[in-house]
Chain A
Amino acid sequence: MKKKLVFFLITGCLLQQVAFGQTVAVRSSPAEKTASVAAGPIKFTEYDLPNGLHVILHQDNTTPIVAVTVMYHVGSKNEKPNRTGFAHFFEHLLFEGSEYIKRGDFDKLNKGAGGTNNANTTQDRTFYYQIFPSNQLELGLWMESERLLHAKIDQKGVDTQREVVKEEKRQRYDNQPYSSFVLEMPKRAFTVHPYRWTPIGSMDDLNAATLDEFMQFYKDFYVPNNAILSIAGDIDVEKTKQLVSAYFADIPKSTKEIYRPTVVEPAQTKEIRDVIYDNITLPAIFQAYHTPAEGTEDYYAIQMLTDLLAGGESSRFSKEIVDKQQKAVNAGAFPFSLEDPGLFLAYGISNMGVAPEELEASMDAEVKKVQEVLISEKEFQKLKNQTENSFVSKNSTVSGIAESLANYKMYFGDANLINTELERYNKVTREDIQRVAQKYLTKENRVVLYYLPKSAQGKTAEETKK
């Protein structure tokens, strides 16, 4: 059926990732959401090459495909304040070619071997993946080793990709209703930490950057001791080890210290409020609360708090604000979890005729309820069931497993959390959920953005209600 009404999928646009290629929308049926994961623990082998490259191998011969992925521990937070957008821009440049792969051939080689590939960049890391029929494992290793060892970047590539990235920014943020909050929120929430800018960065910075600076960035961060090579799928572990060694072992280690920001964002002491006028019809509220880094104890409680507020139709926001009070067409929450302390985001898009102040009051009331009244055993059990369900369903593809393993290793130093992280959730108590709501979801600790229609600019709050 071709008719459809689009409600803005805020969570979709919020993924802080920006990517080399856009994902092409495929008409999908709900049934395609099904997952398939090996029951029982995910087995893997991991080791370091002498040059510091960390290697993780997961064998699953069910489908004759293999995911060859490399995660580099560099994201927008490693950038200089006057050269923002570098990490992501660089990700685009690393499809330009190498010593032995001529410009434009990267994609051709991949596709010609039956592969697919893409990459994306977050505040904390850059991730490249290629998925091939399993007889092309060696090709994938060769290509990724070329990317790490031999990137070749010329001015033409820089000029073209600069335009492409500008279009990416326009398409993702400037031309989409509400989406600019992805840029507006961090700008206000962070004062000194590099999370104050986002991976897409500043176009002025990119315009100003020279080829030499790009090459220096490559030398600084694209080194084996700053990367994880994670391979999953139809492989033979011993044979793969030999191939990995052949293609990666001779890549020199960097002796230079890798720049990682140590600056700590000072605690926010006063609520920050602002208004953004956008090309929208329905006003929206975005609230961001500072939260601890991912992997901390409170982080797990905050994850469950998120489900309490926004997981499913019976969640507090959906049931109260959308269904019962009908104040919003959509209300939700999700953690914007990062390696350093990040944000917890709550949002609501007003239903027609509802003033944003009314909607905000309803959102605050739900938060207050969690802070004041301990949740019931039954509701807590529901959260535990939801956590278990998503944990079991999570690793549905070999490429997903490869990425998860690398993530766990990079951020928590323990790839085996892919099997055991649920235990951390199981330690969370009802009281913890109440406590983190009290501790972090406070006014002094948040930024509130009102998104109002441009037509409302200069009018009073009373007038904008209409």
Chain B
Amino acid sequence: MKKTLNPVFLLLFLLLAANSYAQLDRSKIPPAGPAPVIQLGKYESFTLKNGLKVFVVENHKLPRVAFSMVLDYDPILEKAAAGYVSIAGQLMRTGTKTRTKDQLDEEIDFIAASLSTSATGAYGSSLKKHQDKLLSLLSDVVLNPNFTQSELDKLKKQTKSGIASRKDDPESVAELVSNVVLYGKNHPYGEYETEASIDKINLARIKAFYTTYYKPNIAYLAVVGDITLAEAKTAVEKYFGKWQPGSVPKAPYPVPASPVKTQVALVDRPDAVQTVLDIKHTINLKPGSPDAIKVRVTNDLLGGQGGRLFTNLREKHGYTYGAYSSLSADKLIGEFTASASARTAVTDSALVEFFNELRKIREEKVSPEELKRSKSGIMGSFARSLESPQTIASFAINTARYKLPADYYRNYLRKLDSVTIEDVGVIAKKYIHPDHATIIAVGKGAEIGDKLQQFGPITYYDAEGNKVTAPSATKAVIPAGVTAETVLDNYVKVIGGKANLEKIQDLTMTMSATIQGTPLTIVQQKKAPNKVLMSINAQGMEVQKTVSNGAKATMSAMGQTQQIEGKQMEATTLIEALNLELVYDKLGIRKQLTGMEKINGKETYKIEFTLPGGDKFYDYYDATTGFRLRRVSTLETPQGSINRTTDYDNYKEVNGVKFPFTVSQSAGPQQIKMDVQSIEINKGLKDEIFEVK
């Protein structure tokens, strides 16, 4: 039959279509359609006589096959020769009784296969048409490895290079140090490779590892892809049937104790621009634990994609690109981790928020919406994972390996759905312990050291996991002869000289800025010796005004006027005095050159100023040009004190004196850039405008 549509029918169809969507109301969230059925694919399994357990997932969408094998044995304590187990795994891929490494590489690449080995298993995949060749290579590597001194030496050299460069990567350092702190160096999870331990590795150890642990009776093999059960049976029998079983030793390990109270492990990385932060402790969570699904929900809510940590630390505060947590299960011992990389200046603020969230999820009920959202997120993730046939193979192997109920994964979504608000509370209290954790911080010690003390006692480590003493506060060496006085004198010189500065009797500076989309005009007026007025105007209205006659000061905003006194007055008006650089001593401001620091790649002299009341602020002067580049001062806010950083740029001359025409200020996530519109000198400002009532 020809498929021509009857014109009337067509019209009706168009009308229907138009009708159903003409009412489209964009303000309404579209409703979900009927929930699709999420179906688990099938798998088959069989066991060879030698004990090899095989799981087959047949999937013909793609002309490919994959064989992945995992060995299940207790962790090995390697002691003085740490690293030999991992090297043994890699060495298996470097030659067999009948193939040199060159031959193996050539044959594997020629069929464009992937073939890899590790201490805990082997993997091979290729197009279906190369299946037989792939299996012959994989079984040769697994059954007949030939360990040679020359290949071992190559790997040892490579590994040593890796050890040497390990300290360059802050995340690797954080992981190494956290393992040392959590487990101790005499635990399989705490020990690590060193140059000395690699030197102790020899062929005898490698062979002993292989003959003891590479056994079919502790292996699980997943066969996935374009292959039938019958085909898989024949092939696996053919290529792995002759593999000899043997008894594999068990090794119990003590569970290390958690710290009595939270502690800090700090690794100094002087050039770091960010601090890699991990909050960690061990947990008793085994794979397949009845808590597992509730744990997944709890963790997702706290530290999954879009979870509380992400929302707070990134979306609310802008401290980091991402903040996450994990609660991982392990046969020996599991781990809780919360982590982020945060810029140096907000390292402590980020930790405060981390701990707020860890406490909150333990102490307060989560909302029904959050719980629902996390469950939906996990349901979706479960559904997406089924797109890969490998998932079904993993489910099958997990079920066998961890002795899960046969219907564990079939019931997964049902169990997920039944998790309650109370469950999350119980799980959070059981598995998240902010008061018995270790904070691992890899960052700029000189800047973060002091700020981390509030979180617990600090122990310093080097990048190799050894305890060290605290780093000194400054790094670059101050050249001989440079003092606070010479730096400040030079600054006065480069901006125009003392004589020109002294000619200024009063100054009116007008700046423009935008805050939260609102354009602002900021007018600052100063008069000798120390009268200051600052007025902030939005849309023609004065929204804030600070005025000081040198002895008293007030701040007005929204019709309210407040006296500013003591330290606060010093911090807001005293440091704004006209030609401050000429009158530090007169105003009782002490100054000290404390070191050198790099700012935006420029070496600067850092001068610490102490106000009469004891508060401090810091100015940074370019070591090359002499200009002031930055001021860091402390700002009191209802949320506590935060650092305010002011950067100066774009110096231009007015009446023989250079002023920064671009001033950028940041405090927390707030950022404001002020452009100077005009500077007027000696307009004859009257004393009255600085009057304080």
**Any A CB within 8 A of the CB of B677:** no
Q: Out of A24, A150, A385, which one reaches B324, CB within 8 Å? A: A24
Q: Is the CB of A131 within 8 A of B163?
A: no
Contacting B at CB under 8 A, from A242-271, are 242-243, 245-247
Chain A residue contacts of B66, Cβ below 8 A: 31, 33-34
Chain B residue contacts of A378, Cβ below 8 A: 110
Chain A residue contacts of B158, Cβ below 8 A: 326, 329, 351
Q: Out of A115, A150, A159, A351, which one reaches B669, CB within 8 Å? A: A159
Contacting A at CB under 8 A, from B665-689, are 669-671, 673
Chain B residue contacts of A139, Cβ below 8 A: 29-30, 32
Contact with A along B95-121 (1 / 0, CB 8 A): 000000110111011111010101111
A154 to B383, CA, bound (A): 36
**Any B CB within 8 A of the CB of A431:** no
Name the CB-closest residue of A to B25: A100
Q: Is the CB of A39 within 8 A of B381?
A: no
**Any A CB within 8 A of the CB of B645:** no
**Any A CB within 8 A of the CB of B186:** no
Chain B residue contacts of A171, Cβ below 8 A: 274, 320-321, 341
Q: Is the CB of A111 within 8 A of B376?
A: yes
Q: Is the CB of B322 within 8 A of A21?
A: yes
Q: Out of B85, B341, B514, which one reaches A170, CB within 8 Å? A: B341
A107 to B322, CA, bound (A): 14
Q: Is the CB of B305 within 8 A of A135?
A: no
In the assembled complex, the CB of B299 is this many whole angstroms from the nearest CB of chain A, namely 11
Q: Is the CB of B68 within 8 A of A30?
A: yes
Q: Given known contacts A36-B387, A64-B383, A113-B380, is B112 in contact with A388 (CB within 8 Å)? A: yes
A132 to B64, CA, bound (A): 27
Chain B residue contacts of A182, Cβ below 8 A: none
Q: Out of A114, A245, A314, A393, which one reaches B64, CB within 8 Å? A: A393
In the assembled complex, the CB of B292 is this many whole angstroms from the nearest CB of chain A, namely 15
**Any B CB within 8 A of the CB of A175:** yes
Q: Is the CB of A136 within 8 A of B671?
A: no
Q: Out of A3, A62, A176, which one reaches B169, CB within 8 Å? A: A176
Chain B residue contacts of A29, Cβ below 8 A: 68, 70, 121, 123, 394
Name the CB-closest residue of B to A115: B380
Q: Is the CB of B102 within 8 A of A34?
A: no
Q: Is the CB of B272 within 8 A of A210?
A: no
Q: Is the CB of B318 within 8 A of A177?
A: no
Contacting B at CB under 8 A, from A28-61, are 29-39
Q: Given known contacts A34-B388, A386-B109, is B315 in contact with A3 (CB within 8 Å)? A: no
> Interface segment, A275-283, A297-305, A433-441?
A275-283
A38 to B60, CA, bound (A): 8
In the assembled complex, the CB of B180 is this many whole angstroms from the nearest CB of chain A, namely 11
A64 to B33, CA, bound (A): 12
Chain A residue contacts of B306, Cβ below 8 A: 107-108, 110-111
A150 to B166, CA, bound (A): 47
Q: Is the CB of B380 within 8 A of A314?
A: no
Q: Is the CB of B517 within 8 A of A142?
A: no
Contacting A at CB under 8 A, from B125-161, are 125-127, 154, 157-161
Q: Given known contacts A160-B669, A282-B164, is B394 in contact with A31 (CB within 8 Å)? A: yes
Q: Is the CB of B388 within 8 A of A32?
A: yes
Q: Is the CB of B671 within 8 A of A135?
A: no
Q: Is the CB of B516 within 8 A of A156?
A: yes
Q: Is the CB of A142 within 8 A of B379?
A: no
Contacting B at CB under 8 A, from A368-394, are 378, 381-382, 385-386, 388-390, 392-393
Q: Out of A31, A114, A392, which one reaches B390, CB within 8 Å? A: A31
Q: Given known contacts A111-B305, A245-B21, is B376 in contact with A5 (CB within 8 Å)? A: no
> Interface segment, A78-86, A161-169, A221-229, A408-416?
A161-169
Chain A residue contacts of B17, Cβ below 8 A: 242, 245
Q: Given known contacts A30-B123, A312-B109, A388-B112, is B376 in contact with A113 (CB within 8 Å)? A: yes
Q: Is the CB of A100 within 8 A of B64?
A: no
Chain A residue contacts of B593, Cβ below 8 A: none
Q: Is the CB of A34 within 8 A of B125?
A: yes
> Interface segment, B187-195, B255-263, B566-574, B622-630?
B187-195
Q: Is the CB of A100 within 8 A of B167?
A: no
**Any A CB within 8 A of the CB of B297:** no
Q: Given known contacts A31-B123, A116-B380, A281-B167, is B36 in contact with A234 (CB within 8 Å)? A: yes
Q: Is the CB of B109 within 8 A of A315?
A: yes
In the assembled complex, the CB of A450 is this many whole angstroms from the nearest CB of chain B, namely 16
A200 to B591, CA, bound (A): 39
Chain A residue contacts of B468, Cβ below 8 A: none
Chain A residue contacts of B407, Cβ below 8 A: none
**Any A CB within 8 A of the CB of B465:** no
Chain B residue contacts of A27, Cβ below 8 A: 328
Q: Out of A37, A150, A162, A352, which one reaches B160, CB within 8 Å? A: A352
Contact with A along B31-69 (1 / 0, CB 8 A): 111111110000000000000000000011111101010
Contacting A at CB under 8 A, from B183-233, are 189, 191-193, 222, 224-225
Q: Is the CB of A280 within 8 A of B165?
A: yes
**Any B CB within 8 A of the CB of A445:** no
A22 to B322, CA, bound (A): 7
Q: Out of B33, B114, B121, B179, which one reaches A136, CB within 8 Å? A: B33
**Any B CB within 8 A of the CB of A323:** yes
Q: Given known contacts A314-B106, A385-B111, is B318 in contact with A5 (CB within 8 Å)? A: no
Q: Is the CB of B110 within 8 A of A135?
A: no
A154 to B273, CA, bound (A): 28
Contact with A along B359-387 (1 / 0, CB 8 A): 00000000001001110110111011011
A65 to B159, CA, bound (A): 43
In the assembled complex, the CB of B115 is this many whole angstroms from the nearest CB of chain A, namely 9
In the assembled complex, the CB of A432 is this many whole angstroms from the nearest CB of chain B, namely 20
**Any B CB within 8 A of the CB of A461:** no
Which of A2, A100, A312 gathers the greatest number of chain B CB atoms within 10 Å? A2
**Any B CB within 8 A of the CB of A398:** yes
Q: Is the CB of B157 within 8 A of A351?
A: yes
Which of A65, A350, A382 gathers the greatest number of chain B CB atoms within 10 Å? A65
Chain A residue contacts of B123, Cβ below 8 A: 29-31, 33
**Any A CB within 8 A of the CB of B342:** yes
Chain B residue contacts of A108, Cβ below 8 A: 306, 373
Which of B31, B38, B324, B376 gathers the greatest number of chain A CB atoms within 10 Å? B376
A314 to B105, CA, bound (A): 5
Name the CB-closest residue of B to A110: B306
In the assembled complex, the CB of A309 is this many whole angstroms from the nearest CB of chain B, namely 13
**Any A CB within 8 A of the CB of B287:** no
Chain B residue contacts of A22, Cβ below 8 A: 321-322
Q: Is the CB of B157 within 8 A of A326?
A: yes
* Additional A-B contact list (11), CB under 8 Å, known A138-B31, A166-B343: A7-B165, A29-B68, A31-B66, A31-B222, A36-B59, A108-B373, A136-B32, A160-B317, A167-B318, A246-B21, A326-B158
Identify 16 residue pairs between A and B in the complex whose beta-carbon atoms are under 8 Å apart, listed by A's number.
A3-B179, A6-B169, A29-B123, A99-B26, A107-B305, A131-B380, A138-B32, A162-B671, A164-B315, A167-B318, A167-B320, A171-B321, A245-B17, A314-B102, A323-B105, A393-B64
Q: Which residues of A contact B (CB under 8 A)?
A: 1-8, 21-22, 24, 27, 29-39, 62-65, 99-100, 104, 107-116, 131-139, 141-142, 145-146, 150, 154-156, 159-164, 166-168, 170-171, 174-177, 207-208, 210-211, 234, 242-243, 245-247, 279-282, 311-315, 318-319, 323, 326, 329, 349-352, 378, 381-382, 385-386, 388-390, 392-393, 396-398, 454
Q: Which residues of B contact A (CB under 8 A)?
A: 17, 20-21, 24, 26-27, 29-38, 59-64, 66, 68, 70, 75, 82-83, 85-86, 101-102, 104-106, 108-112, 114, 116, 118-121, 123, 125-127, 154, 157-172, 175, 179, 189, 191-193, 222, 224-225, 269, 271-274, 276, 305-306, 311, 314-322, 324, 328, 341-343, 369, 372-374, 376-377, 379-381, 383-384, 386-390, 393-394, 514-518, 664, 669-671, 673
- CB-CB nearest 9 A-B residue pairs: A114-B380, A163-B318, A31-B68, A64-B36, A389-B112, A246-B21, A135-B33, A30-B123, A155-B516
